[in-house]
Structure 1
Protein backbone atom coordinates (compact mmCIF):
# COMPACT_ATOMS: atom_id res chain seq x y z
CA UNK A 1 0.00 0.00 0.00
CA UNK A 2 2.82 2.43 0.74
CA UNK A 3 3.74 2.46 -2.96
CA UNK A 4 0.38 4.05 -3.75
CA UNK A 5 1.43 7.18 -1.85
CA UNK A 6 4.85 7.42 -3.52
CA UNK A 7 5.21 10.48 -5.77
CA UNK A 8 8.68 9.66 -7.08
CA UNK A 9 9.05 10.61 -10.73
CA UNK A 10 6.15 13.08 -10.59
CA UNK A 11 6.22 16.86 -10.71
CA UNK A 12 3.89 19.01 -8.60
CA UNK A 13 3.01 22.63 -9.40
CA UNK A 14 1.91 24.38 -6.18
CA UNK A 15 0.51 27.91 -6.13
CA UNK A 16 0.46 29.92 -2.92
CA UNK A 17 3.68 28.12 -2.01
CA UNK A 18 4.84 30.85 0.37
CA UNK A 19 1.49 31.14 2.15
CA UNK A 20 0.16 29.91 5.50
CA UNK A 21 -0.30 26.33 4.28
CA UNK A 22 1.84 26.39 1.15
CA UNK A 23 5.23 25.85 2.80
CA UNK A 24 4.12 22.63 4.47
CA UNK A 25 2.29 21.41 1.38
CA UNK A 26 5.43 21.77 -0.73
CA UNK A 27 7.59 20.11 1.92
CA UNK A 28 5.36 17.04 2.29
CA UNK A 29 5.14 16.62 -1.49
CA UNK A 30 8.94 16.68 -1.66
CA UNK A 31 9.15 14.23 1.24
CA UNK A 32 7.03 11.82 -0.77
CA UNK A 33 9.35 12.03 -3.75
CA UNK A 34 7.80 14.68 -5.97
CA UNK A 35 9.78 17.35 -7.76
CA UNK A 36 8.04 20.60 -6.80
CA UNK A 37 7.57 23.92 -8.56
CA UNK A 38 6.98 26.43 -5.76
CA UNK A 39 4.80 29.16 -7.26
CA UNK A 40 4.08 32.47 -5.54
CA UNK A 41 4.10 36.21 -6.09
CA UNK A 42 6.43 37.04 -3.17
CA UNK A 43 9.93 36.27 -4.44
CA UNK A 44 11.70 36.86 -1.12
CA UNK A 45 9.38 34.60 0.89
CA UNK A 46 9.43 32.03 -1.89
CA UNK A 47 13.21 31.83 -1.78
CA UNK A 48 13.14 31.45 2.01
CA UNK A 49 10.58 28.62 1.78
CA UNK A 50 12.67 26.79 -0.82
CA UNK A 51 15.80 27.11 1.34
CA UNK A 52 13.93 25.83 4.41
CA UNK A 53 12.59 22.78 2.56
CA UNK A 54 16.02 21.94 1.16
CA UNK A 55 17.39 21.99 4.71
CA UNK A 56 14.60 19.66 5.91
CA UNK A 57 14.36 17.25 2.95
CA UNK A 58 17.56 15.71 1.65
CA UNK A 59 17.70 15.74 -2.15
CA UNK A 60 14.56 17.86 -2.55
CA UNK A 61 14.15 18.83 -6.21
CA UNK A 62 12.62 22.31 -6.09
CA UNK A 63 12.04 25.15 -8.54
CA UNK A 64 10.91 28.52 -7.13
CA UNK A 65 8.75 30.29 -9.72
CA UNK A 66 7.52 33.86 -9.28
CA UNK A 67 3.99 34.17 -10.68
CA UNK A 68 0.91 36.37 -10.40
CA UNK A 69 -2.02 33.94 -10.66
CA UNK A 70 -4.36 36.79 -11.68
CA UNK A 71 -2.29 37.48 -14.82
CA UNK A 72 -2.74 34.98 -17.67
CA UNK A 73 0.64 35.67 -19.26
CA UNK A 74 2.40 35.28 -15.90
CA UNK A 75 0.65 31.94 -15.35
CA UNK A 76 1.55 30.72 -18.83
CA UNK A 77 5.19 31.70 -18.29
CA UNK A 78 5.27 29.87 -14.94
CA UNK A 79 3.87 26.68 -16.50
CA UNK A 80 6.28 26.91 -19.44
CA UNK A 81 9.24 27.37 -17.11
CA UNK A 82 8.19 24.39 -15.01
CA UNK A 83 7.73 22.14 -18.03
CA UNK A 84 11.06 23.27 -19.49
CA UNK A 85 12.83 22.48 -16.20
CA UNK A 86 11.08 19.25 -15.14
CA UNK A 87 9.66 17.94 -18.42
CA UNK A 88 5.99 18.04 -17.44
CA UNK A 89 3.43 18.49 -14.66
CA UNK A 90 1.64 15.56 -12.99
CA UNK A 91 0.07 17.22 -9.95
CA UNK A 92 -1.45 20.68 -9.69
CA UNK A 93 -2.19 22.00 -6.23
CA UNK A 94 -4.02 25.27 -6.82
CA UNK A 95 -3.67 26.79 -3.38
CA UNK A 96 -3.22 30.55 -3.84
CA UNK A 97 -5.73 32.80 -2.05
CA UNK A 98 -5.79 36.37 -0.78
CA UNK A 99 -7.17 38.59 1.96
CA UNK A 100 -6.65 42.01 0.29
CA UNK A 101 -3.85 44.48 0.89
CA UNK A 102 -6.20 46.43 3.20
CA UNK A 103 -7.01 44.05 6.04
CA UNK A 104 -9.67 46.38 7.51
CA UNK A 105 -11.42 46.60 4.14
CA UNK A 106 -11.33 42.81 3.87
CA UNK A 107 -13.13 42.40 7.21
CA UNK A 108 -15.67 45.21 6.62
CA UNK A 109 -19.38 44.58 7.22
CA UNK A 110 -21.30 43.31 4.18
CA UNK A 111 -23.43 46.46 3.88
CA UNK A 112 -20.29 48.59 3.69
CA UNK A 113 -18.18 46.23 1.58
CA UNK A 114 -16.22 47.95 -1.17
CA UNK A 115 -16.78 46.57 -4.68
CA UNK A 116 -13.11 46.99 -5.55
CA UNK A 117 -12.09 44.86 -2.56
CA UNK A 118 -14.64 42.25 -3.66
CA UNK A 119 -13.14 42.16 -7.17
CA UNK A 120 -9.58 42.03 -5.80
CA UNK A 121 -10.35 38.92 -3.72
CA UNK A 122 -12.30 37.24 -6.51
CA UNK A 123 -9.43 37.84 -8.94
CA UNK A 124 -7.14 35.75 -6.75
CA UNK A 125 -9.48 33.18 -5.18
CA UNK A 126 -11.43 32.12 -8.26
CA UNK A 127 -10.07 33.89 -11.37
CA UNK A 128 -6.61 32.64 -10.42
CA UNK A 129 -7.97 29.09 -10.05
CA UNK A 130 -9.45 29.34 -13.54
CA UNK A 131 -6.27 30.67 -15.16
CA UNK A 132 -3.96 28.15 -13.50
CA UNK A 133 -6.27 25.20 -14.19
CA UNK A 134 -6.58 26.22 -17.84
CA UNK A 135 -2.82 26.43 -18.38
CA UNK A 136 -1.90 23.29 -16.45
CA UNK A 137 -4.85 21.30 -17.79
CA UNK A 138 -3.77 22.04 -21.37
CA UNK A 139 -0.31 20.73 -20.49
CA UNK A 140 -1.67 17.58 -18.84
CA UNK A 141 -3.85 16.81 -21.85
CA UNK A 142 -0.86 17.21 -24.18
CA UNK A 143 1.20 14.82 -22.03
CA UNK A 144 -1.44 12.07 -22.40
CA UNK A 145 -0.67 10.52 -19.01
CA UNK A 146 -3.48 11.91 -16.87
CA UNK A 147 -2.82 13.87 -13.71
CA UNK A 148 -4.23 15.04 -10.40
CA UNK A 149 -5.61 18.54 -9.83
CA UNK A 150 -6.30 19.61 -6.25
CA UNK A 151 -7.95 22.93 -5.46
CA UNK A 152 -7.95 24.39 -1.95
CA UNK A 153 -11.33 25.67 -0.78
CA UNK A 154 -12.50 26.41 2.77
CA UNK A 155 -15.09 25.10 5.17
CA UNK A 156 -16.81 28.46 4.63
CA UNK A 157 -17.33 27.51 1.01
CA UNK A 158 -19.49 24.67 2.37
CA UNK A 159 -21.29 26.21 5.35
CA UNK A 160 -21.87 29.75 6.60
CA UNK A 161 -19.64 31.10 9.36
CA UNK A 162 -21.07 31.16 12.87
CA UNK A 163 -20.92 34.84 13.96
CA UNK A 164 -20.67 33.80 17.61
CA UNK A 165 -17.14 32.53 16.92
CA UNK A 166 -16.03 36.07 16.11
CA UNK A 167 -17.24 37.82 19.25
CA UNK A 168 -14.14 39.49 20.71
CA UNK A 169 -11.94 37.92 18.04
CA UNK A 170 -8.98 39.57 16.37
CA UNK A 171 -6.43 38.75 13.67
CA UNK A 172 -3.19 40.75 13.64
CA UNK A 173 -4.84 43.28 15.96
CA UNK A 174 -7.89 43.84 13.71
CA UNK A 175 -11.48 42.92 14.60
CA UNK A 176 -12.38 40.02 12.35
CA UNK A 177 -15.32 38.20 10.84
CA UNK A 178 -15.57 36.09 7.72
CA UNK A 179 -16.65 38.22 4.74
CA UNK A 180 -19.14 37.11 2.10
CA UNK A 181 -16.54 37.41 -0.65
CA UNK A 182 -14.50 34.68 1.01
CA UNK A 183 -17.45 32.28 1.23
CA UNK A 184 -18.59 33.06 -2.31
CA UNK A 185 -15.14 32.61 -3.83
CA UNK A 186 -14.46 29.37 -1.96
CA UNK A 187 -17.86 27.92 -2.90
CA UNK A 188 -17.02 28.77 -6.52
CA UNK A 189 -13.82 26.73 -6.24
CA UNK A 190 -15.86 23.63 -5.42
CA UNK A 191 -18.16 24.24 -8.37
CA UNK A 192 -15.26 24.74 -10.76
CA UNK A 193 -13.54 21.56 -9.57
CA UNK A 194 -16.67 19.45 -10.03
CA UNK A 195 -17.15 20.84 -13.53
CA UNK A 196 -13.55 20.08 -14.48
CA UNK A 197 -13.68 16.57 -13.01
CA UNK A 198 -16.35 15.68 -15.56
CA UNK A 199 -14.83 17.74 -18.37
CA UNK A 200 -11.32 16.26 -18.03
CA UNK A 201 -12.35 12.78 -16.96
CA UNK A 202 -11.89 11.34 -20.48
CA UNK A 203 -8.23 12.47 -20.32
CA UNK A 204 -7.60 10.63 -17.05
CA UNK A 205 -7.22 13.91 -15.17
CA UNK A 206 -8.72 13.76 -11.69
CA UNK A 207 -9.94 16.97 -10.08
CA UNK A 208 -10.73 17.17 -6.37
CA UNK A 209 -11.01 19.77 -3.61
CA UNK A 210 -9.18 19.92 -0.30
CA UNK A 211 -11.28 21.91 2.17
CA UNK A 212 -9.57 22.84 5.45
CA UNK A 213 -11.40 23.93 8.54
CA UNK A 214 -9.98 26.79 10.60
CA UNK A 215 -6.19 26.61 10.89
CA UNK A 216 -4.24 28.34 13.67
CA UNK A 217 -2.46 31.27 12.03
CA UNK A 218 -2.24 34.31 14.29
CA UNK A 219 -5.76 34.56 15.72
CA UNK A 220 -6.11 35.69 19.31
CA UNK A 221 -6.92 33.39 22.25
CA UNK A 222 -10.58 34.42 22.21
CA UNK A 223 -11.03 33.31 18.64
CA UNK A 224 -9.20 30.03 19.18
CA UNK A 225 -11.35 29.21 22.21
CA UNK A 226 -14.59 30.21 20.45
CA UNK A 227 -13.74 28.18 17.38
CA UNK A 228 -12.63 25.11 19.33
CA UNK A 229 -15.94 25.11 21.19
CA UNK A 230 -17.72 24.50 17.85
CA UNK A 231 -15.51 21.57 16.84
CA UNK A 232 -16.30 17.96 17.82
CA UNK A 233 -12.56 17.26 18.13
CA UNK A 234 -12.23 20.29 20.42
CA UNK A 235 -9.49 22.29 18.68
CA UNK A 236 -8.55 24.32 15.64
CA UNK A 237 -6.63 22.57 12.90
CA UNK A 238 -2.87 22.53 12.73
CA UNK A 239 -1.24 22.89 9.34
CA UNK A 240 0.01 19.31 9.45
CA UNK A 241 -3.58 18.04 9.72
CA UNK A 242 -3.96 18.79 6.00
CA UNK A 243 -0.89 16.96 4.75
CA UNK A 244 -2.23 13.42 4.70
CA UNK A 245 -5.28 14.53 2.71
CA UNK A 246 -3.07 16.28 0.18
CA UNK A 247 -0.82 13.27 -0.38
CA UNK A 248 -3.87 11.02 -0.73
CA UNK A 249 -5.38 13.25 -3.43
CA UNK A 250 -2.06 13.80 -5.23
CA UNK A 251 -1.07 10.15 -5.33
CA UNK A 252 -2.31 6.92 -6.91
CA UNK A 253 -3.97 6.10 -3.59
CA UNK A 254 -6.93 8.15 -4.87
CA UNK A 255 -6.70 6.85 -8.43
CA UNK A 256 -10.48 6.30 -8.70
CA UNK A 257 -11.47 9.49 -6.86
CA UNK A 258 -12.55 12.59 -8.77
CA UNK A 259 -15.09 15.38 -8.37
CA UNK A 260 -14.94 15.08 -4.57
CA UNK A 261 -14.57 17.60 -1.77
CA UNK A 262 -12.39 16.21 1.03
CA UNK A 263 -13.33 18.24 4.11
CA UNK A 264 -10.71 18.27 6.91
CA UNK A 265 -12.51 20.26 9.60
CA UNK A 266 -12.40 18.33 12.88
CA UNK A 267 -16.10 17.59 12.47
CA UNK A 268 -17.41 21.18 12.21
CA UNK A 269 -19.75 20.35 9.31
CA UNK A 270 -21.09 17.25 11.11
CA UNK A 271 -23.10 19.54 13.41
Structure 2
Protein backbone atom coordinates (compact mmCIF):
# COMPACT_ATOMS: atom_id res chain seq x y z
CA UNK A 1 0.00 0.00 0.00
CA UNK A 2 1.30 3.45 -0.92
CA UNK A 3 0.97 6.51 1.28
CA UNK A 4 -1.61 7.89 -1.15
CA UNK A 5 -3.63 4.66 -0.86
CA UNK A 6 -4.09 5.33 2.85
CA UNK A 7 -6.46 8.18 1.96
CA UNK A 8 -8.80 5.80 0.10
CA UNK A 9 -12.21 5.12 1.65
CA UNK A 10 -13.16 2.32 -0.74
CA UNK A 11 -15.36 -0.31 0.86
CA UNK A 12 -16.30 1.95 3.78
CA UNK A 13 -19.67 3.42 4.71
CA UNK A 14 -19.87 7.02 5.95
CA UNK A 15 -22.77 8.80 7.62
CA UNK A 16 -22.87 12.59 7.24
CA UNK A 17 -25.44 14.39 9.37
CA UNK A 18 -26.57 17.75 8.04
CA UNK A 19 -25.66 16.36 4.63
CA UNK A 20 -27.91 18.77 2.73
CA UNK A 21 -26.31 21.87 4.27
CA UNK A 22 -23.76 24.28 2.82
CA UNK A 23 -20.82 22.40 4.29
CA UNK A 24 -22.57 19.03 4.38
CA UNK A 25 -22.97 18.81 0.61
CA UNK A 26 -19.24 19.31 0.12
CA UNK A 27 -18.43 16.77 2.82
CA UNK A 28 -20.68 14.16 1.19
CA UNK A 29 -19.09 14.69 -2.24
CA UNK A 30 -15.58 14.55 -0.79
CA UNK A 31 -16.18 11.26 1.00
CA UNK A 32 -17.81 9.81 -2.12
CA UNK A 33 -14.88 10.89 -4.29
CA UNK A 34 -12.57 9.09 -1.86
CA UNK A 35 -14.59 5.93 -2.46
CA UNK A 36 -17.00 5.77 0.48
CA UNK A 37 -20.63 4.75 0.37
CA UNK A 38 -22.37 7.85 1.74
CA UNK A 39 -25.50 8.04 3.89
CA UNK A 40 -26.72 11.62 3.41
CA UNK A 41 -28.66 12.34 6.60
CA UNK A 42 -30.77 15.45 7.08
CA UNK A 43 -34.12 16.58 8.47
CA UNK A 44 -34.64 18.01 4.97
CA UNK A 45 -35.14 14.75 3.09
CA UNK A 46 -35.68 16.48 -0.26
CA UNK A 47 -32.36 18.30 0.06
CA UNK A 48 -30.60 15.10 1.12
CA UNK A 49 -32.10 13.25 -1.83
CA UNK A 50 -30.81 15.90 -4.22
CA UNK A 51 -27.27 15.52 -2.84
CA UNK A 52 -27.46 11.72 -3.08
CA UNK A 53 -28.76 11.91 -6.65
CA UNK A 54 -25.96 14.29 -7.67
CA UNK A 55 -23.33 11.97 -6.16
CA UNK A 56 -24.74 9.03 -8.08
CA UNK A 57 -25.08 11.05 -11.29
CA UNK A 58 -21.78 12.94 -11.27
CA UNK A 59 -19.49 10.47 -9.52
CA UNK A 60 -21.32 7.20 -10.12
CA UNK A 61 -20.87 6.68 -6.39
CA UNK A 62 -23.06 4.94 -3.85
CA UNK A 63 -25.22 7.34 -1.87
CA UNK A 64 -28.63 7.27 -0.25
CA UNK A 65 -30.68 9.92 1.53
CA UNK A 66 -32.04 9.33 5.03
CA UNK A 67 -34.44 11.53 6.98
CA UNK A 68 -33.63 12.09 10.64
CA UNK A 69 -34.68 14.46 13.42
CA UNK A 70 -31.43 14.46 15.36
CA UNK A 71 -33.12 15.78 18.51
CA UNK A 72 -35.24 12.62 18.73
CA UNK A 73 -33.50 9.48 20.02
CA UNK A 74 -36.05 7.25 18.33
CA UNK A 75 -35.48 8.99 15.00
CA UNK A 76 -31.69 8.63 15.39
CA UNK A 77 -32.02 4.95 16.28
CA UNK A 78 -34.26 4.33 13.27
CA UNK A 79 -31.85 6.14 10.95
CA UNK A 80 -28.88 4.06 12.12
CA UNK A 81 -30.85 0.85 11.63
CA UNK A 82 -31.82 1.88 8.09
CA UNK A 83 -28.20 2.73 7.18
CA UNK A 84 -27.08 -0.71 8.39
CA UNK A 85 -29.89 -2.38 6.44
CA UNK A 86 -28.87 -0.49 3.29
CA UNK A 87 -25.06 -0.63 3.45
CA UNK A 88 -24.24 -3.39 5.97
CA UNK A 89 -21.66 -1.47 8.03
CA UNK A 90 -20.91 1.98 9.44
CA UNK A 91 -17.20 2.79 9.37
CA UNK A 92 -17.20 6.60 9.43
CA UNK A 93 -19.47 9.07 11.16
CA UNK A 94 -19.28 12.74 10.39
CA UNK A 95 -21.31 14.28 13.21
CA UNK A 96 -21.75 17.53 11.33
CA UNK A 97 -25.29 18.85 11.72
CA UNK A 98 -26.13 22.02 13.58
CA UNK A 99 -29.62 23.43 13.76
CA UNK A 100 -31.14 26.79 12.97
CA UNK A 101 -33.25 28.56 15.53
CA UNK A 102 -37.02 28.52 15.10
CA UNK A 103 -37.01 32.19 16.16
CA UNK A 104 -34.12 34.28 14.80
CA UNK A 105 -35.19 37.31 16.84
CA UNK A 106 -34.77 35.26 20.02
CA UNK A 107 -31.54 33.72 18.70
CA UNK A 108 -29.83 37.09 18.25
CA UNK A 109 -31.05 38.65 21.54
CA UNK A 110 -28.40 40.21 23.83
CA UNK A 111 -26.99 37.83 26.46
CA UNK A 112 -28.66 39.75 29.29
CA UNK A 113 -32.07 39.21 27.67
CA UNK A 114 -31.53 35.65 26.39
CA UNK A 115 -34.35 33.22 27.11
CA UNK A 116 -33.75 29.81 28.67
CA UNK A 117 -36.08 28.22 26.12
CA UNK A 118 -33.93 29.51 23.25
CA UNK A 119 -30.77 28.35 25.05
CA UNK A 120 -32.18 24.84 25.44
CA UNK A 121 -33.33 24.72 21.83
CA UNK A 122 -29.88 25.50 20.46
CA UNK A 123 -28.13 23.18 22.90
CA UNK A 124 -30.52 20.44 21.82
CA UNK A 125 -29.82 20.84 18.12
CA UNK A 126 -26.08 21.56 18.35
CA UNK A 127 -24.88 19.33 21.20
CA UNK A 128 -27.54 16.87 22.38
CA UNK A 129 -27.85 15.65 18.79
CA UNK A 130 -24.09 14.94 18.67
CA UNK A 131 -24.44 12.82 21.82
CA UNK A 132 -27.36 10.85 20.40
CA UNK A 133 -25.78 10.07 17.03
CA UNK A 134 -22.38 9.21 18.52
CA UNK A 135 -24.07 6.97 21.08
CA UNK A 136 -25.98 4.87 18.56
CA UNK A 137 -23.29 4.76 15.87
CA UNK A 138 -20.65 3.97 18.50
CA UNK A 139 -22.65 0.92 19.58
CA UNK A 140 -22.60 -0.36 16.00
CA UNK A 141 -18.86 0.27 15.59
CA UNK A 142 -18.11 -1.63 18.80
CA UNK A 143 -20.32 -4.53 17.71
CA UNK A 144 -18.60 -4.67 14.31
CA UNK A 145 -15.24 -5.01 16.05
CA UNK A 146 -13.28 -3.30 13.27
CA UNK A 147 -12.96 0.15 14.78
CA UNK A 148 -14.03 3.32 13.05
CA UNK A 149 -13.55 7.04 12.70
CA UNK A 150 -15.86 9.70 14.11
CA UNK A 151 -15.37 13.33 13.10
CA UNK A 152 -17.39 16.10 14.73
CA UNK A 153 -17.81 19.64 13.43
CA UNK A 154 -17.29 22.47 15.90
CA UNK A 155 -16.77 26.18 15.13
CA UNK A 156 -14.08 28.80 15.57
CA UNK A 157 -16.35 30.31 18.23
CA UNK A 158 -16.29 27.07 20.19
CA UNK A 159 -12.56 27.69 20.69
CA UNK A 160 -12.23 31.47 20.92
CA UNK A 161 -14.57 34.32 21.69
CA UNK A 162 -16.05 36.40 18.87
CA UNK A 163 -14.63 39.79 17.99
CA UNK A 164 -17.86 41.77 18.02
CA UNK A 165 -16.27 44.58 16.01
CA UNK A 166 -16.66 42.49 12.84
CA UNK A 167 -20.44 42.69 13.17
CA UNK A 168 -20.62 46.47 12.91
CA UNK A 169 -22.60 47.14 9.72
CA UNK A 170 -22.62 43.42 8.96
CA UNK A 171 -25.73 41.69 7.69
CA UNK A 172 -26.63 38.12 6.76
CA UNK A 173 -29.91 37.31 4.99
CA UNK A 174 -30.89 40.96 5.42
CA UNK A 175 -30.50 40.80 9.18
CA UNK A 176 -28.06 42.39 11.63
CA UNK A 177 -26.19 39.46 13.17
CA UNK A 178 -23.98 38.47 16.08
CA UNK A 179 -22.69 35.28 17.65
CA UNK A 180 -24.85 34.33 20.66
CA UNK A 181 -23.22 32.82 23.75
CA UNK A 182 -25.25 29.63 23.37
CA UNK A 183 -23.67 29.00 19.97
CA UNK A 184 -20.17 29.31 21.42
CA UNK A 185 -21.05 27.16 24.43
CA UNK A 186 -22.63 24.42 22.32
CA UNK A 187 -19.68 24.29 19.92
CA UNK A 188 -17.18 24.24 22.79
CA UNK A 189 -19.15 21.27 24.09
CA UNK A 190 -18.51 19.45 20.80
CA UNK A 191 -14.74 19.71 21.37
CA UNK A 192 -15.13 18.44 24.93
CA UNK A 193 -17.29 15.52 23.81
CA UNK A 194 -14.70 14.62 21.17
CA UNK A 195 -11.88 14.46 23.69
CA UNK A 196 -13.94 12.37 26.08
CA UNK A 197 -14.99 9.85 23.43
CA UNK A 198 -11.46 9.66 21.98
CA UNK A 199 -10.17 8.27 25.27
CA UNK A 200 -13.31 6.31 26.11
CA UNK A 201 -13.44 4.41 22.80
CA UNK A 202 -9.69 4.13 22.14
CA UNK A 203 -9.78 0.53 23.42
CA UNK A 204 -12.25 -0.25 20.61
CA UNK A 205 -10.01 1.37 17.96
CA UNK A 206 -12.63 4.05 17.37
CA UNK A 207 -10.88 7.35 16.70
CA UNK A 208 -12.73 10.58 17.46
CA UNK A 209 -11.59 13.99 16.23
CA UNK A 210 -12.96 17.47 15.62
CA UNK A 211 -12.70 19.80 12.67
CA UNK A 212 -13.23 23.46 13.45
CA UNK A 213 -14.09 25.70 10.52
CA UNK A 214 -13.45 29.40 10.65
CA UNK A 215 -15.98 31.71 8.97
CA UNK A 216 -17.23 30.34 5.64
CA UNK A 217 -18.60 32.48 2.80
CA UNK A 218 -22.33 31.85 2.57
CA UNK A 219 -24.11 35.05 1.62
CA UNK A 220 -22.74 37.60 4.09
CA UNK A 221 -22.66 41.22 2.94
CA UNK A 222 -19.49 42.97 1.72
CA UNK A 223 -18.94 44.75 5.02
CA UNK A 224 -18.90 41.49 6.93
CA UNK A 225 -16.55 39.87 4.40
CA UNK A 226 -14.19 42.81 4.74
CA UNK A 227 -14.39 42.98 8.55
CA UNK A 228 -13.86 39.26 8.94
CA UNK A 229 -11.07 39.09 6.36
CA UNK A 230 -9.21 41.85 8.18
CA UNK A 231 -9.09 39.61 11.28
CA UNK A 232 -7.61 36.60 9.45
CA UNK A 233 -3.92 36.15 8.53
CA UNK A 234 -4.90 34.76 5.10
CA UNK A 235 -7.08 37.83 4.65
CA UNK A 236 -10.41 36.25 3.72
CA UNK A 237 -13.24 33.96 4.73
CA UNK A 238 -13.07 30.26 3.83
CA UNK A 239 -14.80 28.55 0.95
CA UNK A 240 -16.91 25.52 1.85
CA UNK A 241 -14.79 23.12 -0.20
CA UNK A 242 -11.69 24.05 1.82
CA UNK A 243 -13.04 22.04 4.77
CA UNK A 244 -13.12 18.72 2.92
CA UNK A 245 -9.44 17.72 2.82
CA UNK A 246 -9.19 17.57 6.62
CA UNK A 247 -12.31 15.40 6.78
CA UNK A 248 -10.96 12.87 4.29
CA UNK A 249 -7.68 12.74 6.21
CA UNK A 250 -9.41 12.10 9.54
CA UNK A 251 -11.84 9.58 8.05
CA UNK A 252 -9.09 7.54 6.40
CA UNK A 253 -6.23 5.31 7.50
CA UNK A 254 -3.87 8.20 6.75
CA UNK A 255 -4.73 9.42 10.26
CA UNK A 256 -4.64 5.99 11.95
CA UNK A 257 -2.64 7.33 14.94
CA UNK A 258 -4.65 10.55 15.32
CA UNK A 259 -7.42 10.79 17.91
CA UNK A 260 -8.75 13.40 20.32
CA UNK A 261 -7.52 16.24 18.11
CA UNK A 262 -9.13 19.43 16.89
CA UNK A 263 -7.99 20.55 13.44
CA UNK A 264 -8.50 24.29 13.02
CA UNK A 265 -9.37 25.28 9.46
CA UNK A 266 -9.48 29.00 10.09
CA UNK A 267 -7.01 30.76 7.82
CA UNK A 268 -4.76 31.33 10.82
CA UNK A 269 -7.30 33.30 12.89
CA UNK A 270 -6.53 31.36 16.09
CA UNK A 271 -2.78 31.90 15.58
CA UNK A 272 -2.82 35.67 16.14
- Please give the range of the TM-score, normalised by the shorter of the 2 chains: over 0.9
Question: What secondary structure sits across from 1:92 in the alignment?
Answer: strand
Q: What residue is the counterpart of 1:233 in the other structure?
A: 234
Determine the C-alpha separation between the residues in 2 that align with 1:104 and 1:230.
27
Deviation string for 1:101-130 (max 9, x for gaps)? 222221111111121111111101100000
TM-aligned CA deviation for residue 55 of structure 1: 2.7
* Comparing 123-132 and 96-105, the one that deviates more: 96-105
Conservation of the 8 A alpha-carbon contact between 2:243 and 2:265: yes
Quote the residue 1:269 is aligned against.
270
1:56 aligns with 2:53: no
Q: Alignment partner of 2:22: what SS?
A: coil
User: Structure 1 residue 244: deviation in Å?
Assistant: 0.5
- Tell me the residue number matched to 1:35: 37
Quote the residue 1:20 is aligned against: 22
- Which consecutive aligned stretches of 4+ in structure 1 deviate over 3 angstroms post-superposition? none
Query: Could you list the runs of 5+ residues in structure 1 that have no partner in the other structure?
Result: none
Could you tell me whether the CA contact under 8 Å between 1:104 and 1:174 is conserved in 2?
A: no
Distance 2:243 2:126 in 1: 19
Q: Distance in 2 between matches of 1:137 and 1:103?
A: 33
The reply on whether 1:212 has 2:213 as its aligned counterpart is: yes
What's the secondary structure of 1:39's corresponding residue? strand
Task: Report the aligned-residue RMSD.
Answer: 0.8
TM normalised by structure 1 equals 0.98
Per-residue CA deviation, residues 211-266 of structure 1 (Å, 9 max, x unaligned), is 00000011111101000000000110001110100000000010000000000000
Secondary structure of 2:129's aligned partner: helix
TM-score, length of structure 2 as denominator length = 0.98
CA distance in 2, matches of 1:222, 1:54: 38
CA–CA separation in structure 1 for the residues paired with 2:75 and 2:99: 17
Query: In structure 2, how many angstroms separate the alpha carbons of the residues matched to 1:100 and 1:267?
Result: 29
User: Does the CA-based 8 Å contact 1:79-1:135 persist in structure 2?
Assistant: yes
State the Cα distance separating 1:56 from its structure 2 match: 2.2
**Local SS of the residue matching 1:150:** strand
Paired residue total: 270
Q: CA deviation at 1:50?
A: 1.6
Unaligned runs of 5+ in 2: none
Shift of 1:4: 0.6
